[in-house]
Amino acid sequence: EEQSKKSPKRKIVLLMAYSGKGYHGMQRNVGSSQFKTIEDDLVSALVQSGCIPENHGEDMKKMSFQRCARTDKGVSAAGQIVSLKVRLIDDILEKINNHLPSHIRILGLKRVTGGFNSKNKCDARTYSYMLPTFAFAHKDHDVQEEVYRLDRETLEKVNKLLACYKGTHNFHNFTSQKGPKDPSAKRYIMEMYCGEPFVRENVEFAVIIVKGQSFMMHQIRKMIGLVIAIVKGYASESILERSWGEEKVDVPKAPGLGLVLERVHFEKYNRRFGNDGLHEPLEWTEEEEKIAAFKEQYIYPTIINTEREEKSMANWLNTLSIHDFNSSAV
């Protein structure tokens, strides 16, 4: 207690990894305790470890708290970044982690400039989406899920479609509550592709990577949902162009389960402050092994086991046959 009162308050960033299953996303909803979020557990650990006084836990503005990305319900992260002011107590990471459940870990800490804000200073975010490859099987083929294996030709088609998203488009149809004239619906996508498939627990999976400046709620899940619908033969390729136009297109939204915030990029900040002698660049090469180990232990098994038990992808695929791609959504 005495030590933590004497410790100076400093602006830092924490590198976080978590499995989002069972949580209503990252961002805390003060006053609504029935929806547990990742930040509820984080703030409680910060208070218990002595890095922040209790009243900062109640009013997060007091510690200038900012998360880099608001992950949706059920979404995991391997490289989430939060910025905040804390007392730099001894063994700070160990103490915070001691008060966190094992599926939430703080993997790194760096000092940053006083005015640093993890959301505003972030110039890009990379997400991955892990899905069973039978999601790409054509609707007219009778598919045994465990036996299905993705062929070259289908993977090439998937990648051709995903590449169409690159550049700047109007994504008003890929989120709710944004109209076609809203300038904030225009988003810039730097890369998007699907990697080589691999088998886990007899089921073949693949991982889609997408890097963009920033994303709106449900945007990535809808981008992937639309590509799945086209590859499966429920919608024609022309719907992609149409969905960026003014008219309302009801874009199907893939399940949240496979989505993971992989990393956040601070290229401009690193160029300006990364080598100024006082601050280090916000890069986490030394933590890469810990990140990979966390994914193997907590994120991938959760996605695979939940998929097997709850069949979220298989059940969602069944809704595509009744999805109306032609009518405008009400």
Q: Which residues are annotated as a binding site for substrate?
A: 127
Catalytic choice (40, 72, 142, 151):
72
Residue ranges of the binding site: 127
Tokens of 304: 């695979």
Rounded to 5 degrees, what angle do the CA atoms 285, 92, 87 make?
A: 115
Spatial separation of the C-alpha atoms in residues 221 and 216, rounded to whole Å: 10
72 is catalytic: yes
How many residues make up the chain in this entry? 330
Spatial separation of the C-alpha atoms in residues 105 and 93, rounded to whole Å: 9
Q: Residue 117 corresponds to which amino acid?
A: N
Spatial separation of the C-alpha atoms in residues 173 and 195, rounded to whole Å: 26
Spatial separation of the C-alpha atoms in residues 139 and 162, rounded to whole Å: 19
Q: Strands 9-18 and 104-111: what pairing?
A: antiparallel
**Cβ contacts of 10 within 8 Å, gap of 6 or more:** 85, 86, 87, 88, 111
- Residues noted as catalytic: 72
